[in-house]
Amino acid sequence: MLGIASRYFAGRIAVAAAAAIILGIVTGLDETGHVVMFGTIVLGTAAAAFALLTALALSLGDNDSIDRERSHSYPATPAYWPVMSAFGLGLLMVGLTTDGFIAILGLATIITASVEWTVSAWADRLSKDQVANATERDRLIAPFEIPLYGALSIAIPVLLISRVFLAASRSNASWIALGLSSLVLAFAFVLYAKPEIRRAIVATALVAAGAGLIVAGITSAAIGERDFHPHEVHQDEDIEHENDSEATDYEEHSQAPNPARIVVR
Amino acid sequence: MADNTPTLVSGEPQRPRAQFVATGFAIAAAAMMIAGALAMYMARRHASGIHPGSEWLNGLKVPNPQFDYALLTLYTSIVTAHWALWASRRRDTAHAWTAIATTIVLGLGFVNMVIYSLNRMELEIGSGEYPNLAFATTGLSLALVVVGLIYLGLMGLRSVGGSVGQHGSTPLGSAVFFWDFVAVAWTATWYAVYVVK
């Protein structure tokens, strides 16, 4: 006997196929003999798609779907991978409209989250012992995770902060650097002075700082770098500039046009 | 008096091949996307003139050999994908991995060949209705190919983690199922856009 799913999809096939045929015949009866391509093709494909789903339902039995003994119930470990995937998708979207590098970063995040999610889902179903599952998961993925996240935890903040520095003017970049360094120092001092501070507060502060850094980095990348102009090279025979790399240096437009000369005696 | 109160069945729903069924639904949804894109293409082509196949190409030449070889490459990758599934079901991990890697390499080769062919055609977005629709439909099919490659790669990772055997190969089987659909979707796109034009 056919199950509920098989009967449902079989009905859908009949409706879609009948609609495609009727539309094709009716629109083909006019003087040009041309059928309405769009509707006919879409309805015909819908019938084919429902046929695929019917075949799937039939091949899988389409029977009782209740696990009375709860033999397939596995406790799942909470994971951040869906959040990470969503974040990667957001990065990709922002990157596609602003900066290609951010788009690549978003794509890399999605791929990484997908791999992590897959391995976690696989490990969750190994047994009903979550600790053993976590050990097995780490055995497989930790050799990749540790170097990858170690490198990323250095590279991403450096990259984001560099975007902020490049977008701000030269003097503002200095102030921002000073402010950030002071904040890090103050935070470290508070942690040292008040070791009993709740971990949740520390975690919240770190997450807020990370989110702020990401927003600032992406916004700065969208704004773009400030204008740089090549430095004019002064070739005075009396002045020795062999060790200077000013010829390849760049400085801001706002700087004084005639920098002070340093005469080496 | 007999108690006729219905008793509810307890327990978690049993979904032994949930991923396979979910892949089937994804394929149905993607098939409708492709159908919509190709139907739009055919409808616009049909409305372009008395001789639509030649008129709206506007002098563009389709490099048939390159597209044919790309299609052959994709079909070859279907064989290697099924080889991977066959080996995985028999717990032959060495063959399964070789076949998965070969499939991914062939898939990447296919993408490369299609992009090369598009460059050779010198299609330019915005230069006409055919280039726009050809880019849109080809791009959609290529996106499905990329999704299929990622899916195969991820399920390949699961197989290296020990998800093999008759039941353990369901994830890989789902990916191969999607890959089969990708080949069908590309064949339809290729036939409509580059053969019928």
- Cα of first residue to Cα of last residue in chain B, in angstroms, is 75
Q: Is residue A179 part of a domain?
A: yes
User: Kind and range of the H or E element at B12?
Assistant: strand B12-13
**Are A94 and A191 in the same domain?**
yes
Range of the domain at B126: 64-196
**Are A42 and A125 in the same domain?**
no
Amino acid at A184: V
Q: Is residue B10 part of a domain?
A: no
In A, which residues are within 8 Å of B158 by CB distance? 118-119, 122
**Are A53 and A93 in the same domain?**
no
* DSSP structure class, residue A236: -
**Are A193 and A159 in the same domain?**
yes
Q: Is residue B9 part of a domain?
A: no
**Residue A119 · residue A141 · CB < 8 Å:** yes
Q: Is residue A13 part of a domain?
A: yes
Mean pLDDT of A75-93: 84
Q: Is residue B42 part of a domain?
A: no
Mean pLDDT of A29-42: 72
Give the global pTM: 0.58
Alpha-carbon distance A188 to B99, whole Å? 52
A79, A216, A210, A113 alpha-carbon torsion, rounded to 10°: 20
- Minimum-distance CB partner of A46 among B13, B21, B32: B32
Q: Is residue B157 part of a domain?
A: yes
Range of the domain at A150: 81-223
**Are A113 and A169 in the same domain?**
yes
Q: Is residue B104 part of a domain?
A: yes
- Minimum-distance CB partner of B14 among A37, A67, A115: A67
**Are A215 and A90 in the same domain?**
yes
**Are A44 and A115 in the same domain?**
no
CATH number at residue B153: 1.20.120.80
Q: Is residue B3 part of a domain?
A: no
pLDDT tens column, B127-185: 888 888 888 999 999 999 999 999 999 998 888 878 888 888 889 999 999 999 999 99
**Are A185 and A95 in the same domain?**
yes
In A, which residues are within 8 Å of B21 by CB distance? 56, 60
How many domains are contained in chain A?
Answer: 2
CB distance A66–B32 less than 8 Å? Answer: no
**Residue B34 · residue B189 · CB < 8 Å:** yes
pLDDT tens column, A107-153: 888 999 998 988 888 888 788 788 888 888 888 888 888 998 899 88
Q: Is residue A242 part of a domain?
A: no
Name which residue leads in pLDDT, B73 or A101.
B73
CA of A198 to nearest chain B CA: how many angstroms apart?
A: 39
A70 touching B (Cβ < 8 Å): yes
Which whole-number Å values give the CA distances from A111 to A74, A89, A98, A140, B144, in the listed order? 26, 10, 21, 17, 16
Q: Which residue has the tokens 């309805």?
A: A43
pLDDT tens column, A211-227: 888 888 888 887 888 87
Q: Is residue B18 part of a domain?
A: no
Q: Is residue A161 part of a domain?
A: yes
In B, which residues are within 8 Å of A50 by CB distance? 28
How many domains are contained in chain B?
Answer: 1
Mutate to test the interface with B, among A34, A43, A52 (most CBs of B within 10 A): A52
Those residues of chain B whose CB sits closer than 8 Å to some CB in chain A are 9-17, 20-21, 24-25, 27-28, 31-32, 34-36, 38-40, 42-43, 46, 150, 154-155, 157-158, 161, 163
Residues in chain A: 265
**Residue A60 · residue B17 · CB < 8 Å:** yes
- Minimum-distance CB partner of B154 among A53, A66, A115: A115
